[in-house]
Homo-oligomer: A and B are copies of this chain.
């Protein structure tokens, strides 16, 4: 078999947002095509002279209007089945880009963002939609598989690093944080233990501000103390450096 040279590389992004209740994913509607599924993940071919993360940020800016600094982006898996895009789907891509590729290998990314009014307005204007994770049926190409994979990554990462805060507004209640964990992990969490754990971490700062106009005891707003987290991480790494230079 000869070396493959007439191939293309693409990025596809599973973009997650949280509205306080459910976890949602950003889906793009593509121009109707008889037998092809309409909804897909935001993605793009890689352009000359850009890295894969750069391509992903470009796609995300286009889809959400948000810049790098307002997005959390992570590379996950590569989908390299020679036939993952073929037949009508391959024609659709070649027509769309005016190229003639025989194979598209894609790199899956997942992205997290703070789902505020401005962002939802922007995405709906673009013809994209935020779909609850549980309501997604079929997607174009192998995008359903990419999405499942992304969800797995998110679950794992949320239990090991403070990515949850990327999905919440700057100020949030501990209950909102808890609901986010429950929505992503699909479990119920004891709120006493949850608060204890979160507050004892030392990474949450009470703002003194409280909810207003709610028909119950108003919850306090907290912020994530990223600096405290960084310091703690650094201390941990420094310790690790003593007895484990490889980290």
A residues whose Cβ falls under 8 Å from a Cβ of B: 1-9, 45-53, 75, 77-78, 80-82, 97, 99, 101, 103, 105, 107, 151-152, 155, 185-188, 243-247
- Give min CB distance, A216 to chain B, whole Å: 27
Complex Cα gap A75–B75 (Å): 12
Chain B residue at minimal CB-CB distance from A97: B3
B186 lies within 8 A of A243 (CB): yes
Complex Cα gap A244–B183 (Å): 10
With a cutoff of 8 Å between Cβ atoms, the chain B residues found around residue A51 in the complex are 80-82
B155 lies within 8 A of A82 (CB): no
A-B contact pairs, 10 of them (CB 8 A): A3-B99, A4-B45, A4-B49, A5-B6, A5-B99, A52-B105, A75-B77, A75-B78, A185-B244, A185-B246
A8 lies within 8 A of B1 (CB): no
With a cutoff of 8 Å between Cβ atoms, the chain B residues found around residue A2 in the complex are 47-48
What is the oligomeric copy number? 2
With a cutoff of 8 Å between Cβ atoms, the chain B residues found around residue A81 in the complex are 51
A244 lies within 8 A of B80 (CB): no
A45 lies within 8 A of B99 (CB): no
**3 closest residue pairs by CB, A with B:** A1-B47, A52-B80, A3-B45
- Give min CB distance, A108 to chain B, whole Å: 10
Q: Out of B1, B48, B151, B247, which one reaches A1, CB within 8 Å? A: B48
B3 lies within 8 A of A47 (CB): yes
Complex Cα gap A161–B53 (Å): 29
A246 lies within 8 A of B186 (CB): yes
B46 lies within 8 A of A3 (CB): yes
B1 lies within 8 A of A50 (CB): yes
- Give min CB distance, A59 to chain B, whole Å: 13
A4-B45, A187-B244, A188-B243 known; A78-B99 Cβ under 8 A: no
A155 lies within 8 A of B46 (CB): no
Chain B residue at minimal CB-CB distance from A101: B5
With a cutoff of 8 Å between Cβ atoms, the chain B residues found around residue A247 in the complex are 152, 155
Chain B residue at minimal CB-CB distance from A46: B4
